[in-house]
Amino acid sequence: MSSQFILVNLKAYKEGMGPRAHMIARAAEEVSEESGIQIGVAPSFFDLHPLSKHFEIPVFAQHLDGVVPGAFTGHVTAAAVRQTGAVGTLINHSERRLTLAEIEASVRAATEAGLVTVICSNNDMTSAAAAALSPTYVAIEPPELIGSGVSVAKADPGIIQRSVAAVHAVNPKVKVLTGAGIQSGECVKIARDLGTDGVLLASSVVKVEDPAIVLRDLVSLL
């Protein structure tokens, strides 16, 4: 059985909120059971608790603030995320960039709360830096692939390979996700063959009418 991990970021897409979030989580659970491939979802803060309660798949926050409970307004603590039943969190997504000090504090707080951590990075150098913070995963989002519709299969695969090498040179225990340019089962297979431990993707699952069809395709070549 493959140990690849497929993580679907529901972002703030209207097609990924409320009932649609449930529908996508249900599809992920079905395809995960069929295939034996682990599939997780990262919904809005408000869907963390309902999805964690209703489904067996791993549910991730899209962000958290690495602060200890206290005088912080509009912040999301690791403890509060854990309380929802979520099991992990994205950190430093390209749409929610953090300072280095904040990333480190977030990884630390999330880890202490028992959460799996996925730091997003943009190239091999920042991937190596992220690895030094000992997250569970680093997800490489090459800017030239983000939301471009360009498949990682067609783009220069060098950045993924260099990032995997850079991450492992710093910390061989840190796993790597391919974080952009994933649209099909072929992309997922290529990502695996480039040495990564799974993929982080969004619109190609969230914005389609029937996410189960796409999810089945994504796991089809593993």
What is the rounded radius of gyration, in angstroms, for the C-alpha atoms of the chain?
16
Contacts of 116 (CB under 8 A, 6+ apart): 58, 60, 87, 88, 89, 110, 136, 137
Q: How far is the CB of 17 from a copy of itself (least distance, A)?
A: 6
Least separation, in Å, of the C-beta of 32 and a copy of itself? 22
The reply on whether position 113 binds a copy of itself by CB under 8 A is no
183 counts as binding a copy of itself under rule CB under 8 A = no
Which of the ranges 64-72, 151-159, 173-181, 189-197 carries the binding residues for a copy of itself, by CB under 8 A? 64-72
- Which of 8, 28, 90, 190 contacts a copy of itself by CB under 8 A? 90
CB of 108 to a copy of itself, least distance (A): 7
- Binding segment for a copy of itself (CB under 8 A), chosen from 28-36, 101-109, 180-188, 190-198, is 101-109
Query: Is residue 141 annotated as part of the catalytic site, yes or no?
Result: yes
Among 2, 184, 203, 220, which residue interacts with a copy of itself (rule: CB under 8 A)? 203
SS (H, E, C) 138-178: EEECCCCCCCCCCCCCCCCCHHHHHHHHHHHHHCCCCEEEE
Element containing residue 55 per DSSP (H, E): none
- Asked if residue 67 lies in contact with residue 109, where contact means CB atoms within 8 angstroms, the answer is yes
Decide if residue 53 touches a copy of itself (CB under 8 A): no
Q: Which position among 62, 163, 178, 196 is part of the footprint of a copy of itself (CB under 8 A)? A: 62
Q: Is 134 in the site for a copy of itself (CB under 8 A)?
A: yes
For a copy of itself, the binding residues in 149-168 under the rule CB under 8 A are: 166
CB atoms within 10 A of CB 129: 17
- Which pairs with CB-CB distance under 8 Å and at least 24 residues apart come from 21-26? 21/47, 21/50, 21/51, 22/47, 22/50, 22/51, 22/54, 23/211, 24/205, 24/206, 24/211, 25/51, 25/54, 25/55, 25/57, 25/59, 26/55
Residues in contact with a copy of itself by CB under 8 A are 9, 11-14, 17-18, 42, 44-46, 48-49, 61-63, 65, 67, 69-77, 79-80, 83-84, 90, 92-101, 103-104, 108, 121-123, 125-126, 128-134, 147, 166, 170, 202-203
